Amino acid sequence: MRLIKNGNILFRDELNKMDILFDEEQILEVAENLQADCEVIDAEGLTVLPGLIDVHVHLREPGFEQKETIRTGSSAAAAGGFTTIMAMPNLNPFPDHRDVMEEYLKRIANDAVVNVIPYGTITYGEKGGEVSDMSGMRDLGIRWFSDDGVGVADDSVMEEAQKKAASLGAMIACHTENMEYRAPGASVHEADYAGVMGWKGIPSACESSQLERDLILAEKTGVKYHGCHISAVESIKALRTAKDHGADVSAEVTAHHLLLENTDVKGPDWKMNPPLRTHEDRMALINALEDGTLDIIASDHAPHTEADKNKSMADAAFGIISLETSFPLLYTEFVYRQKRWTLAQLVNWMSAKPAERFGLGKRGKIEPGYKPDLILTELGPESVIDKNSFLSKGRNTPFDGWTVNARIIETICGGRTVFSRKSN
C-alpha cells in the first residue's frame, strides 16, 4: 500500500486537502487525515489528479522504431501525465488479424511503461478493401478499430465494417479524408495564407465529406462510432446533426487544433493532418467541446525523425508530438490564463470522458474502487517547454520555447511510480 498526503485532490470535481490510500489494484480510500503503515508520498504544494487518458497515440512500433518505440512513447506518456494511451495501428505489420495482434500485445506487455491499449485495423493493410479479422482480434479483447492515417473510401466497405463492429460490440474510430479533395503536395489549410506562402491547400471538405458519410452510416448500422481529430466547422455541424438523430457517435479534438490556427504555420513542425484551420474553425472547436458536440481531447502524438521533417512543406511528414505538452499547454491557456475552463472540466475531457466513452473500466476518477492511476502536478509556477528534454524520440513540435504554468511532477500507474521529475 501507498499513501498520498498533504495534496490538493481533485475529488468529485472539487479541490480539497485530502489523502489517498491505494495499492496496486485500486484506490482504497479518499479522506482527510488518513493513517496507514505504508510508504507515504508527500504531495505538499501539489495538485493530485486522475491519470490522463489519450485515445489517439502513434507509438510507431513495430516497423518504425527509428521514430518511436513502445518504451519511449509510453515513457513520454508518463512524463505528460497519461496513464492510459490507445495506440493507432498504422504499423508494419498492421495489426489486422489475430496472429499479428497477439504478437503486438506481447510486445506491449513487455515494454509499456503505462497502460497501452491497441487498435486493430478496419481493413486489411489499411487498404480500404477487405474488412479485417475483427472477430479474431475481438477474441483477444480488442474492441476498437481504426484505419488511422487514411480514410476508408468505399461506401460499401465502410458499411460492412460498421455492421461487423456493431455485431461484436466494438467501436469504429475514423480518420476521415476524402482524397479527391487533396492535391499532391498539399500541406496546409486551403485559404489565402497558403497562397501567400506558396503552399498547396487542403479544404475542409476533405475531412467533413467523408465524416458526413460515416455518420449517416453509423445512424443506419447502430455502430459505436468515433471521429478522430476533428478540425472544421463543417465537421462539427455534421456531428451535431448525427447526435440530434440519436446516433451513437462521439469525436475528439487535439490540443494543437484548440491552440493554433492556419496563420500560425511557419514550417514543417506546424504541418499536421488534418491541418490547422482558420480562427473561425478554432473557435468553433472550442465552443463544440464546451457544448458537448465534441467529447474528448486527444493528442494525435505523431513522432517523426528529423529527416522526415527537414524537407519542404510539400514533402515533409504530417504530424507533431504532443504527449508531453498537451496538458501543460491546455491548462495554461484555458484554465490559468483565460479562466475559461475549470480544472475539473479539462481533466474530465482528458480522463473521465475517454474512459467512459471507450469502455475502459474504472479509470479517470479519484474514487474508491477505481484504478490507482494518479498524477501529482505543480500548477502555477512558470516553466519552459524544451523539446530536447522530451522522453519521446520525436522533436517535431511547434511548442518548443513556450511558457507554461503546469508541470507533471510524478505519475503513478497501477499503484507504481512510473515517472518522477525529481529523478529526471
Active site residues: 300
Task: Determine the residue type at 320.
Answer: I
- For the beta carbon of residue 231, count every other beta carbon within 10 angstroms: 28
Q: Are 257 and 247 in contact (CB under 8 A)?
A: no
C-alpha cell, 360? 475502459
Alpha-carbon distance values, 412 to 65, 78, 81 (Å): 26, 8, 9
Q: Residue 195: which H helix or E strand, with range? A: helix 192-197
Q: What are phi and psi of 317, to 5 degrees?
A: -70, 150
The span from the CA of 408 to the CA of 324, in Å, is 9
Burial class (CB in 10 A: 0-12, 13-18, 19+), 216: middle
Residues β-bridged to residue 29: 21
Residue with cell string 476498437? 144
Counting every residue, how long is the chain?
Answer: 424
The DSSP letter of residue 352 is: I
DSSP 357-413: HTT--S-SS--TTS---EEEEEEEEEEE--GGG-SSS----S-TT-EEEEEEEEEEE
Q: Are 114 and 142 in contact (CB under 8 A)?
A: no
Angle (CA) 304 144 160, round 5°: 110
Handedness of CA 394, 398, 399, 400 (dihedral sign): positive
Residue with cell string 473510401? 153
